[in-house]
Amino acid sequence: MSKWARRAIFLVAAVLMALATWLAVAALFLHPSNTGERAAQFQALGAAGALVASIVLVAVTAIYVTLTGDMVREARDARLDAVRPALVLRLDGVGPVHSFFSLVNAGQGTAVDIDVTLTFHALVEGGHEHVVRWRAPSLAPQAHAQFMPKDATGMVELETEKLVGMFSKVTVKGSLKDVAGRSHNVEVSLDDLPGWRALLAAAGQRYERDYLKQIADALETIEKKLP
């Protein structure tokens, strides 16, 4: 129930209670000492006031019970949301040449009993598709797991241009639990990998170091120096 709905209910209840109180007071203090038609009118007025007061009291009690239940449910949902994990998929460039696919827990709670399947969908029909199942006992908030897909020969591929030339998108489906033991379905995706690559390139992102390229260059230098 919204805040404005609660205010409206309390306002109506207050008006009805004020009306019932006025009727009851009128019946007490304006009751004439003589008998007759006027006395009967005030007696009826008092009875009506008592009836309205009873109805308002029952209505207000029901409203308070309903609002209390709503507040209890909201407090419970807020506590559960505080431990709810949320997995998202992103493309992490470690330099202008290489990239990883990272599954990140962007929620507020730790994810436990994670069981998901990552599918790297082929860019063209009949092309290479890479599927891997990943299970983990837990993944803390803001923590991530990185994945390195393989090409058709079974070799790990990290070069961004080759990745977007093989795969069109990445999907993650499966399940996990939060620390409260509730199960949640996982269904996230990173669509249009070539489009994402173009956006990253156009953004002119600055990279600190491309460690993989440094390692490759160092190994090539060592190889050249060997007799």
Tens digit of pLDDT for each residue in 197-220? 776 666 666 555 555 566 666 677
Domain match, 165 and 119 both: yes
Segments forming the whole domain that contains residue 25? 3-81
pTM given for the model = 0.59
Name the range with the highest mean pLDDT among 71-75, 85-89, 207-211.
85-89
Confidence of residue 2 (pLDDT cuts 50, 70, 90): low
Angle at 178 (CA atoms; ends 176, 182), nearest 5 degrees: 85
What's 95's domain CATH number? 2.60.40
Angle at 142 (CA atoms; ends 175, 96), nearest 5 degrees: 105
User: Does residue 184 carry a pLDDT above 80?
Assistant: yes
Tens digit of pLDDT for each residue in 117-150? 999 999 888 889 999 999 999 999 999 999 989 9
- pLDDT higher at 9 or 110: 110
Mean pLDDT within 157-165: 84
What pLDDT is stored for residue 46 in this prediction? Answer: 61
Domain match, 101 and 178 both: yes
Domain match, 215 and 118 both: yes
Domain match, 118 and 191 both: yes
Domain match, 174 and 211 both: yes
